[in-house]
Each structure stands twice: as structure tokens, then as C-alpha cells.
Amino acid sequence: MSSALKSLRALSDPTRLRMVALLERDELSVNELQEVTRLGQSRISTHLGLLADCALVQSRREGKRTFYKLNLQATGDTGEFIQLAIRGAKELPEHGGDQINLKRVLARRKEQAQVFFNQVAGRFDRVYGPGRSWQAFGHLLLRILPPLVVADLGAGEGLLSELLARRCNKVIAVENSEKIVAFGAAKARKNGLKNLEFRQGDLQNPPIEASSVDLVILSQALHHAEIPADAIAAAHKILKPRGQILILDLLKHNFDKARELYGDRWLGFAESDLHHWLEKAGYKKIEVSIVAREEQPPHFQTILAGAEKN
């Protein structure tokens, strides 16, 4: 049978013409077509199959559902048949009712997409969102970072250093634990991060040349220093002029077990402590604020301090 004859035959049925009219505006699933037309599911599928066979209708799979729409890009005979069918379908007695039902189904589909967000409005930041994580935000924020030379003091195994190395010119991770240095360096090598260098040393006297880095980071490391003010002054020494220091630490707390559990030397710091030590070391543009509070007891709070070397 010629393709023209096949298309004419497919369009000779009034039910299939109804579908042509419905699939003109938007793509619809079988369930949605069923809701609009009140026809049985298998009947609808058979009709759609015949229309798709002649390329009058196209389909797209999404998960378990298939969506159908009229092939409005079709040219030649098929394109002409489709336009003729759309005009003819408007003369069918069911057309008016179908269009009203279609509007209702499409409006509900739009509402459904908004239902979740309306439900979580006001607590959206606290509920689970697929793919949304601080790690992902971290990667995004890194893209904004200029190509700096960074010293990560008390770097641990390099969680932050590795992230930074993906963007920065060079990262020097300073650690006093020999084992952690060996582990971190091996991990950096394995991950192909040639610009991440682990150095064993003390954060109060980092093995880094004076005036050589753009940024010093002390992430949850300052509370391990014997004399935190000395660590802040040492960071000032290795910074280039206009270089920045960023400190993430715990706000002063009373959870004494932190000494035993995490090897902490200081139970966090007051905002005024950090401000005072930064000022004393000669930093300018000092900003100290509390940026996070844990939901679980003992409700540790995180303090962020930043400042610039003159």
C-alpha cells in the first residue's frame, strides 16, 4: 500500500481525527488521552500505533511513560494530510468537549509540577533535593575562584585542598601528621593533582616561603594550634600583600569531650578572640561571623573569619 493511501486510511477514522486535534497543541501520554476522550487504554494505544506508523504522530519516552505529539514538522503529503486532518477534526461533534477536557488536563499537569515546591515553600533549604548538596555547591563556587596560590594549613587528608587544586594554580597542604601527609600525597597523585603538594610541618611555622601565597586557609585546624595567635601571625608572613586569610573554626563551646574524641586543644573561639588576633597580626578588612549551627547536640556552631594583608 502506498504511504499516501496508508495515511489517508489512518485519518479516515473519526476517533483518530479526535486524537490528531488533541495532539496538535501539546504532547500527551496515553493516560492523559484516556482522561480527555474517556476511551479505553488499549483502543487509544492501537489508534496511536496506526498514526505513528504513518509518521503522522511522534513519540518520546520518559521513564515508564510515552508521550505522543502530532508531527507538525512533516513535509510533503504527510504535512498536507496533517493540516487537512486538523481542519476536519474541528467539525467533529466531540471536538468542543475534547478541547475543554484537554485544558483541564493540561492545567492539572502544570499544578502537579508546582505542588511539591508549594508544599516545601518556607522549609525548602532543609528538605532533601535530588542532586543538591554542599559538595555540588562547592564545585560551583570554585568556578568563580581566580587561579590562586593557596596554603591549606592543617589540611588533613586534603578534602578541601583537592577541591581547590582543581581550580587553583597551586595548593600547598601543610600537615604535622607524617601518616596523613603520606596518605594525602598518595591520594593527590592517584587523582592526578600535580599542583597539590603536601608538606609536613607545623601550622604555627609553615614550611612556606614568605610573601608567596594569595590565600591561607585554616579549616577546623586553628583549635589544634598550641598558640592560635602565632598561627595567625605566621599566616600573615607567608601571604603576599593583599593576600587573604580565611579561618573556619568552632564557636566557643563547652563540649569538653572534644579533647578526647577529636584531639582538640581549644574548645572553639569567641568571635572577639579571632578578631583580636587578626588585628594584632596586622590584618585589615577583618570580618568574623557565625555561618552554621548543627541541628544535633552539642549544637556546634561554625565561625568564619576573613581578613586581608595590607
Ligand X SMILES: C[S@@+](CC[C@H](N)C(=O)[O-])C[C@H]1O[C@@H](n2cnc3c(N)ncnc32)[C@H](O)[C@@H]1O
Positions in the binding site for ligand X (CB under 6 A): 154-156, 159-160, 174-177, 180, 202-203, 219-221, 224-225
Smallest distance from the beta carbon of 248 to ligand X, in angstroms?
7
Smallest distance from the beta carbon of 229 to ligand X, in angstroms?
14
Q: Are 184 and 155 in contact (CB under 8 A)?
A: yes
Closer of 67 and 266 to ligand X (Cβ):
266
For residues 192 and 190, what is the distance between their CA atoms, to the nearest angstrom?
5
Closer of 14 and 207 to ligand X (Cβ):
207
Closer of 175 and 214 to ligand X (Cβ):
175
DSSP state of 299: -
184 CB-near residues (< 8 Å, 6+ apart): 155, 156, 157, 158, 161, 173, 175, 198
Closer of 70 and 268 to ligand X (Cβ):
268
Smallest distance from the beta carbon of 219 to ligand X, in angstroms?
3
Amino acid at 159: L
Contacts 24+ apart (CB under 8 A), 77-86: 77/3, 77/4, 77/7, 78/3, 78/7, 78/54, 81/4, 81/7, 81/8, 81/11, 81/56, 82/20, 82/56, 84/11, 85/11, 85/17, 85/20, 85/56, 86/20, 86/21, 86/24
Closer of 12 and 177 to ligand X (Cβ):
177
Smallest distance from the beta carbon of 242 to ligand X, in angstroms?
24
Smallest distance from the beta carbon of 220 to ligand X, in angstroms?
4
Within its chain, how far is the Cα of 298 from the centroid?
29
Smallest distance from the beta carbon of 272 to ligand X, in angstroms?
23
The residue nearest ligand X at its CB is: 156
Closer of 67 and 300 to ligand X (Cβ):
300
